[in-house]
Structure 1
């Protein structure tokens, strides 16, 4: 519920009417918008991107080049993150494989975490 209220404060959802017992009552359009937001967030789009995409739905006859550009930009960001994570995984795998057991003082993993390490 806090997330939904946050979406309302961010302007992604309109604040719904209240019932006689003060419960929020969302109409079908609001539920559809909430589903749109959730799907966008599940795909990793930022709230700003979700907002842009949602605003673009107001013009169904327009060319979808802007939508494509937002998606391509997001895909490029995902690819950069994957590359960064792959490099991180490779480095950590090398550290784990270089660990021959022994004492804490001889631990390559801890050495890599220490200031002045050549792994920075």
Structure 2
């Protein structure tokens, strides 16, 4: 990339919908390549950096961790990736999300049962045989 081409930090941040600290953080994490610098020391990113930052943000919204995103971005940079890379990772993420959904449904159902049982105080409820909240084992589960 020649001098004067590309995007300065503020322009990239604005175009990608993030702040400057996010760009610096992505650089430190290796998600975004270190940019070239102008003679005056300003960062200059390649134009495709906007797409990279948008991919990172979209992947975060889909539930991928930054470590997982780093692996996906790194795989793409090596140009040795196969469609199975994203496919396998997406399938694993779906399984993880489905597990969390199952947990959330169980939590919701337990809380709904507690409301239906008239639980108003956790201490009173814990001593009642009718309380649906599983007080035993909760501390051991975590």
Answer yes or no: same fold by TM over 0.5.
yes
- Please give the alpha-carbon distance, in whole angstroms, between the structure 2 residues aligned to 1:50 and 1:43: 11
The TM-score normalised by the length of structure 2 is 0.63
1:2 aligns with 2:30: no
| TM-aligned CA distance change 1:19 to 1:95, over 3 Å | farther
Residue 82 (structure 1) aligns with: 101
The TM-score normalised by the length of structure 1 is 0.73
CA positional deviation for 1:119? 7.2
Q: Which runs of 5+ in 2 are unaligned?
A: 1-19
Where relative contact order (Cα < 8 A, 6+ residues apart) is larger, the structure is 2
| TM-aligned CA distance change 1:82 to 1:110, over 3 Å | farther
**1:66-96 deviations in whole A, cap 9, x for unaligned?**
2211111111100111011111111111111
1:108 aligns with 2:122: no
Residue 64 (structure 1) aligns with: 83
1:92 aligns with 2:121: no
| TM-aligned CA distance change 1:99 to 1:33, over 3 Å | same
Q: Classify the secondary structure of the residue corresponding to 1:28.
A: coil
| TM-aligned CA distance change 1:119 to 1:48, over 3 Å | closer
- Please give the alpha-carbon distance, in whole angstroms, between the structure 1 residues aligned to 2:23 and 2:94: 26
Aligned residue among 17, 31, 54 for 2:50: 31
Q: Which runs of 5+ in 1 are unaligned?
A: none
Q: CA RMSD in A?
A: 3.2
